[in-house]
Structure 1
Amino acid sequence: MKTRINAFEKGQSAMKAMYGLAIYLAKSPVEQALLNLISFRVSQINGCAYCLDMHAKDLRSKGETEQRIYMVSAWREATVYTDRERAALAWAESVTLVADSHVPDAVYEQVREYFSEQELIDLTVSIITINSYNRINIAFRTPAGDYVPGQHAVVTH
């Protein structure tokens, strides 16, 4: 296979805009562990190996259990997730698959039970951000497997 562009090295100006979203989300009132879990689930849906490697390692390094990481693709049947997490996972799947579902009203009503307006905005920004990263990594075939936990941590002060 022909080598592709390293978007993170060659597209630094464009990526700087993306990093601004990460800096914003680092200050979100939504739990960072939940945002990472959502990023992992969205990356599963999109098939982004780089992001799966990254978020699995970050989740583990922050104390997430193997059981919860392994079962997130079957979260509807698993009993290890809270109602708040389930609402966020349903929202993440609907927003990611917007062309299929147009985010059903029932999913919106469910997520509104557990998230304030600001939290829902931040959750949505997090979902669209990981979808963008997935598409960049998939398009440019960013190699997976070498990520070190915290490697892309943002400085917020």
Structure 2
Amino acid sequence: MPAKTLEDLFIHALSDVYSAEKQLTKALPKMARGATNPELAGAFQTHLEETHGQIERIDQVVEAEGLKLKRIKCAAMEGLVEEGGEVIEEFEKGAVRDAGLIAAAQKVEHYEIATYGTLCALAKHLGLKTAAKLLHETLLEEKATDEKLTKFAQMDINEAAKAASK
């Protein structure tokens, strides 16, 4: 029987992002190892810790609102993680790979920002105040990570990649 309620949509989206975050916990250590810039590698490690916290927050949402997640695999994150892996495989270690890893990570962040923004809106419409608050915390973290990645790119990594390309 197809799902048809707004709550069904919320549970599906929450289940999907739970899968996405789980996939990310496996991808971030690879990205950290693949990075040349130690600050970028550290940022990936920091985001791994945040991601574990975001998974815990989803667990809190499920418990607080009495929800049951579906066992699904986030196809979007699977593709984004694969793209990050391709950067590691196709570019030798150095500034160009770091620039590619930043681009791949920002694609992930933009996906997560869109997803958590949607979840916050759905939670508000459904009157799930605890869920809305917890999901908003994660949304703010994802936006902060995206801004941090932009600063890395603008500060010196893209310039170093340009110099390495000559």
| TM-score (normalised: structure 2) | 0.32
Asked which structure has the greater CA Rg, the reply is 2
| TM-score (normalised: structure 1) | 0.34
Question: Structure 1 or 2: larger helix share?
Answer: 2
